[in-house]
Structure 1
Amino acid sequence: MKARSPFLLRIPGKDKGKISTIIILCLWSINATACNFASPSKNMAEPPPENLRKPLVTSVSINDARELSKPATKNDGFGSQPEIVLGNTIKGKAMGLKTNLLFNEDISGEEARFDRLENAVQDIHTNFNDMKPSIQRLVSVEKDLQDLMNQLDILLRNEPISLRNRTPVNLTPTQPAVPTQTTEHKTAKPKAETKVKKSLPKVDRSKAIIRALRLGDHSGKTRLVIETTQDLKYSASLDQSENLLILSFDKGSVEFNPSGLSKKSKLINAVTTTSEGSGSLVIIELAKASDLIKQGRIKPNKDNAYHRIFIDLKR
């Protein structure tokens, strides 16, 4: 009679088939897990489609810059659904933490509730650590894109890029300058200025000529000055009703232009001249009624070679 081993398990015949099936499934799952047949490798990145592969561009034209500045579309391979890159090479869809479902399960024990909260915080921290490298790369890419946009903006406006001007540096040693001998020049004393006497024009006194009439407004009066080549007799009469001053000369011709004289005095409206026999009349129209204050003569002197008649009218 054979001895039975104490470790031998007796299995009834009706359960032997079920036990065998369970053992076969366990062995197959272990083998598939060891060979990594259950799930494809996440590290194997699919190559981009042929239509998205473009040659490397080494120079950018104005048209290329305009194309680069346009926003990306679906035709460029960008979809409307955003992707989040986890880690360095893992790609995946937006995860969604489902924070509104974290505490749906009703747990009464405080220790179990704290464990659930700690697990949720740990999951958030783990996911953030996975996304942190991608976020840092996005920040650096954004800075590079901003610099590129600034350069493209300059190219589109055709603005020249200002460069710093560098002055050339002379590398050869400079020789010391030879001192120049200075000679003292004696300055000549300035000569005393000699006063030049003003020469008066020669006056032809053989002809009786009324050559000039000057007007000037002063404090409370208006002065008329008449220049003649000879000491001519005259008469001055003031017509108060017509506001006229009439100067009558017994001889002599008028050789000055009366137009424009009224602009030199506020009391004078107009000046006209006319000849009367061998003499002349000078008619002065006044802007308002006035009185004859003073009149007189000034003989030729060192300052003026002509005879002068002055008449003062009240303003």
Structure 2
Amino acid sequence: MDTSVLTDSLKLFALLPFPEIDPVAFSLGPIAVHWYGLAYVVGILCGWYYARQIARRDHLWPHDRSPITAAHLDDFMVWVAVGIVLGGRLGYILFYDFAAIAQNPIRAIEIWNGGMSFHGGFVGAILAIILFSRRNGIPVLSMLDTIAAVVPFGLLFGRLANFVNGELWGRLSDAPWAVVFPTGGPFARHPSQLYEAGLEGLLLLVVLAMLVFWAKALKRPGFIAGAFGVGYALSRIFVEFFREPDVQLGYLAFGWLTMGMLLSLPMVAVGIWLMARARVSPSS
């Protein structure tokens, strides 16, 4: 064996072990409450509260009047939860697990054997926003901006939950912070879930907050939504270079292109278009 390969292998074995965190946060009798489920709940609740704080500040909006009320946001929680869950599951089926489900359709409802796709949940949330906004007489772009500003909460907690579950880990690495995941073989890997939590969650949340409260970007309907699309997509594409591709798909082309990258490219294009077309309101 090449000595350099052996040395690298030993270095990989010597890095951080995966912290022993029980995926079950707590149990209520026979009901086990998982961290992943809690992440969805906490992300939605934090987003709901933050959206209410944005909506109640009239000076942030065109004509110095918010088109969204607290009651709107209360009602929308059900709509967006359904959109995210259905869209996320359907997106995973179509983009990541279609071949297996085509052979065994019952697998589509076996959620314990599958996952959720962010891009599918994103589409589901957008459809929920469009339908809800039109039904309640809210400008679609303003509602889209509000939700885009709070989505990073869900991404932050969701990626942290992925780490706790030891899933969606990264590629082999000898970095000092690399982790040996229980389901990732004997070698250390990039904790790509934490990279995503930091970039798609925390950093994007701060950048969008600066645009909302300092740059008054809500006065340009569509700008915040566009900034979110570009910010998320570029973060995801970057992290995909460190994240292990889904085993059933592997690399799609060139030895590095992944499904996550491919699905993020349209978000960059649409995001740039939304930001470019956004105009300052005459009364802002």
Q: Same fold (TM over 0.5)?
A: no
- Structure index of larger Rg: 1
Structure with the largest fraction of helix:
2
TM-score w.r.t. structure 2 length?
0.21
More strand by share: 1
